[in-house]
Every structure is written in C-alpha cells, then in structure tokens.
C-alpha cells in the first residue's frame, strides 16, 4: 500500500534585499533634480521677489484675485522647499549651512538664471556666483621668486579646474612630505596663483575626493575653501604641536 507524500514544510518568506546606501554621486544627482524642480516651480514668479520668503513683495502685484494670490504663495513655497531640500544634500560637501546653500540657489533663480549647471555651481559656492574671491596671479619667474621652484615630488590634481576646465591644481610637499604649498596654474595666461601656503596632504586629498563629486570643473577658490574645512577638521583631531594654522589665499 502506497503512502501519501508528505507535504513540504512551508518556507519562510524571503526578506527583500536592502537597497545599497546612496553614494556622493547619487546625492549630487538628486540635488540637481531638486534644483531643477525649484527652477521649474519658479517660472512665472516675479524675479524681484526676495529669495527666502517674499515677505516684502505684495502679491497684489501679480493679480488682484484671491486665486492668484494663493497660487503665487503656493508656488513660492514649493520653490523654496525644493531649494532647501537640495541645500540639505549639498551642505556637507559645500561646507556650508543648508539654509545658505538654499539662498544661493534661489538668489540665482531670482536673478533669472535657468541653467542647471550654473545653479548647481552657485549652490556649492563657486566664485562666479559669489563675486569677490580673487586670486593673486603671477608669471612663472615672479611666482618662483616668492614661493620657490617646482619640485619633482609635486602632486598634480588634474588640469580640469576653473571656468574653462583647463587650470591645474598642484601640491608642492615640504621635506616631510606631509604638508606643502598648494597652487594653481592657468595655461591660457601662463600664470600661477597661491591657494594655500601651508596645508596637509590629507586635507588636499580629502578635498579632491569631495571636489570630483561636486563638479568636474569646480572653481579653484571653492576647492581651497574645501581644503580649509578639512584642515580645520584634521587639526581638531590631533594635539597642538605648535604648528601655525593653515593659510588659505583667497
């Protein structure tokens, strides 16, 4: 006599795999999408409106009906909310307060800027969005007279920086190899500029990792500010050994 087949025990449901943790590149793409939403929502708003709240501009200028006023404030709120969300993502890499980053975005939108690359660059604090950070340029001989000749031990960080994407950032290490002078070379004018007189290699390497995730042609002055931020963090982790603080030239 045959026996009935024993039913298989029920299997526990499989747990779905945890999605991978988003990397810096993912955050950058999401931030650019949020900037685009902020820009798109802003279309039709008065560019003279203050970027943070619009409290100083009467909505009656945009229409006398209640519907017009409600629509205006609703879209202004959306525009600012998208910019603030982008600010939260960008703030760690830009070494800035999220509200400050959001203000950079909405200020450029209010000025009529629509290009996403320019808005993104402004969010990270590039100098064309924040005029006034000027570098002091010198010819090769004048720069060498101030800071010495090139060294075979120098470490180049690519000829990709600046508005034309052709400026080179270089670290010239001291005798220890742990610190050095950070400078910039512009091939168009064949000139050099000092970015930092005394900086740790670790701060420059960390800034370089951040910079390649921010923008392929990041402004060198912004790069120097990121280096400074990492240098401050590094100095706070080690006991004071009498070294002077890093000097950033902007």
Same-domain check for residues 37 and 108: yes
Phi/psi class of residue 66: alpha, beta or left (left: φ > 0; alpha: ψ in -120 to 50)?
Answer: alpha
Instruction: Out of 69, 98, 123, pick the residue that ends a domain.
Output: 123
Same-domain check for residues 93 and 156: no
Whether residue 223 is contained in a domain is answered as yes
**Whether 112 contacts 167, CB under 8 Å:** no
pLDDT at 170: 97
Q: What is the pLDDT along the chain (250 residues), one digit of tens a residue?
A: 556 666 666 666 565 554 554 455 567 788 889 999 999 988 876 544 444 444 444 444 445 566 677 788 888 889 999 999 999 888 877 777 889 899 989 988 888 888 888 888 888 776 443 433 468 899 999 999 999 999 899 999 999 898 788 999 999 999 888 999 999 999 989 999 999 999 999 999 999 998 887 777 888 888 998 898 888 776 655 555 554 544 545 4
| Segments of the chain assigned E as strands | 137-138, 155-161, 167-173, 179-186, 191-200
Whether residue 249 is contained in a domain is answered as no
Number of domains the chain contains: 2
Same-domain check for residues 144 and 54: no
Strand 167-173 to strand 155-161: parallel, antiparallel, or no bridges (unpaired)?
Answer: antiparallel
d(CA 142, CA 188): 17
Whether residue 248 is contained in a domain is answered as no
Same-domain check for residues 113 and 144: no
Whether residue 132 is contained in a domain is answered as no
Same-domain check for residues 78 and 146: no
Whether residue 1 is contained in a domain is answered as no
pLDDT at 121: 81
Domain extent for 112: 24-123
d(CA 205, CA 248): 16
CA distances in angstroms from 109 to 58, 70, 77, 81, 205, listed in the order given: 19, 21, 14, 14, 33
Count helices and strands in the chain by DSSP H and E runs:
7, 5
Instruction: Out of 95, 123, 151, pick the residue that ends a domain.
Output: 123
Whether residue 6 is contained in a domain is answered as no
Same-domain check for residues 141 and 110: no
pLDDT at 153: 92
Whether residue 246 is contained in a domain is answered as no
Burial class (CB in 10 A: 0-12, 13-18, 19+), 60: exposed
Same-domain check for residues 176 and 226: yes
pLDDT at 25: 55
Same-domain check for residues 91 and 149: no
Whether residue 219 is contained in a domain is answered as yes
pLDDT at 21: 46
Model-level pTM greater than 0.85? no
């Amino acid at each position: 006599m045959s026996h009935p087949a024993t039913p298989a025990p029920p299997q526990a449901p499989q747990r779905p795999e945890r999605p991978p943790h988003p990397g810096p590149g993912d955050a950058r793409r999401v931030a650019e999408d949020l900037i685009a939403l902020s820009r798109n929502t802003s279309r039709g708003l008065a560019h003279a409106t203050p970027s943070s709240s619009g409290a100083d501009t009467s909505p009656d200028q945009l229409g006398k009906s209640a519907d017009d006023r409600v629509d205006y404030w609703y879209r202004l709120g959306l525009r600012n909310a998208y910019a603030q969300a982008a600010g939260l993502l960008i703030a760690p890499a830009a070494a800035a307060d999220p509200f400050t980053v959001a203000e950079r975005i909405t200020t450029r939108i209010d000025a009529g800027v629509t290009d996403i690359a320019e808005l993104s660059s402004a969010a990270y604090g590039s100098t064309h969005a924040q005029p006034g950070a000027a570098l002091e340029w010198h010819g090769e001989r004048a720069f060498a007279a101030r800071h010495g000749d090139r060294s075979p031990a120098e470490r180049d960080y690519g000829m990709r920086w600046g508005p034309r994407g052709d400026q080179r950032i270089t670290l010239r290490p001291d005798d220890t190899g742990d610190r050095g002078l950070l400078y910039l070379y512009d091939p168009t004018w064949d000139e050099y500029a000092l970015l930092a007189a005394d900086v740790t290699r670790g701060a420059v390497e960390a800034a370089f990792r951040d910079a390649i995730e921010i923008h392929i042609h990041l402004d060198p002055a912004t790069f120097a500010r990121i280096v400074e931020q990492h240098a401050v963090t590094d100095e706070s982790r080690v006991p004071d050994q009498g070294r002077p603080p890093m000097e950033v030239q902007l």
